[in-house]
Amino acid sequence: MIGGLFVYNHKGEVLISRIYRDDVSRNAVDAFRVNVIHARQQVRSPVTNMARTSFFHIKRGNVWICAVTRQNVNAAMVFEFLNRFSDTMQSYFGKLNEENVKNNFVLIYELLDEILDFGYPQNTDPGVLKTFITQQGVRTATKEEQSQITSQVTGQIGWRREGIKYRRNELFLDVIEYVNLLMSQQGQVLSAHVAGKVAMKSYLSGMPECKFGINDKLTIEGKGRPGADDPAKSTRTAVAIDDCQFHQCVKLTKFDTEHAISFIPPDGEYELMRYRTTKDIQLPFRVIPLVRETSRNKMEVKVVVKSNFKPSLLAQKIEVRIPTPPNTSGVQLICMKGKAKYKSGENAIVWKIKRMGGMKESQISAEIDLLSTGAADKKKWNRPPVSMNFE
């Protein structure tokens, strides 16, 4: 696993050093400084191999964090540990920079003793670490606190402490989805995917177990496919998700067997689930741009926005950005709904609509005055796509 861990400043000076295995020598410190930090050309790869030694590194502000190993390790796991180590330090003393690392070097060494054992990552959850490591050092715990620490370090519920009490139990769940779409000039969909997440806020007493069911037609990479005996029927009715990621509190066994999400929630705000799908996406809006050059110094633009969702739904904070040529001298705007403004610094017309119901249509017309330029300058402007954001 990890043979050594080093923290450098922007000059290449070692701020934190900890070697876990004998196969990593002190020469690795100089090798990384010379070949990466002080390299003549910028090193873009996060992994550098030198003399059969691998250096995994990330940079946070003016601080480099580097893990060294001579073994064939899982690179994704090493980077996950480096990022969690960085997040843990920031949860203790705020911004990660050279001054804060120097002022809290004793605390950092205490953290390394807990999160790395002979080079193997252990518990990196700041909520658990803060129960027995404080900024002033290790505090003396009572017998009750010691039993609580032991249960959180060795048990299965390290993300939630015991003894939480609220006067009123509350649980909030929000499903947030982002639609990313790219269309051609002819209106064909080139690429489309939906990235969603389930954000929760829980203010519950004790150790409650929460559970909610999900759509029985949901399939994830071929798991739990409904109507397996009839593939044609399955394709028509299934809601396919390409991949998903759960918070560590979710019991995955119950998700596979019962098609439900069961979990003991952390306290406060957290992200329970993140997912992504690229199949059978129904476009919530359709944007139809029409551009016509009336003369060498004038251009007419018309953009029609149509909502394709149910009339009972409502879209809010709609913003359509229409690019304009860099030699635009003036714009006259007429819009059916909302407000539109030409922003010369951004070379774009920004059209904002507060809200829009389903199965509705709205349009904007613009007459653009252009400055006289040479033919060579005119060719440089390749019409960028019209972009749209909404909630």
Q: Would you list which residues are annotated within the binding site? A: 339, 341, 343, 352, 354
* DSSP calls for 270-288: EEEEEEEE-SSPPPSEEEE
CA 165 to chain centre: 31
DSSP 3-state assignment of 94? coil
Q: How far apart are CA 363 and CA 288, in angstroms?
A: 9
**Among the residues of the chain, which ranges form H helices?**
27-32, 75-93, 98-103, 105-115, 126-129, 143-154, 231-237, 252-258, 375-379
Q: How far apart are CA 281 and CA 145, in angstroms?
A: 51
Contact call for residues 335 and 320 (beta carbons, < 8 A): no
Burial of residue 327 (number of CB atoms within 10 Å: 0-12, 13-18, 19+): middle
- From the list 164, 158, 244, the residue with the least C-alpha distance to 202 is 164
**Among the residues of 264-374, which ranges form H helices?**
none
Q: How far apart are CA 244 and CA 196, in angstroms?
A: 9
Contact call for residues 362 and 350 (beta carbons, < 8 A): no
- From the list 362, 213, 208, 211, the residue with the least C-alpha distance to 287 is 362
Contact call for residues 58 and 8 (beta carbons, < 8 A): no
DSSP 3-state assignment of 35? helix
Q: How far apart are CA 46 and CA 36, in angstroms?
A: 10
C-alpha torsion sign, points 14, 19, 24, 27? positive
Q: How far apart are CA 391 and CA 51, in angstroms?
A: 52
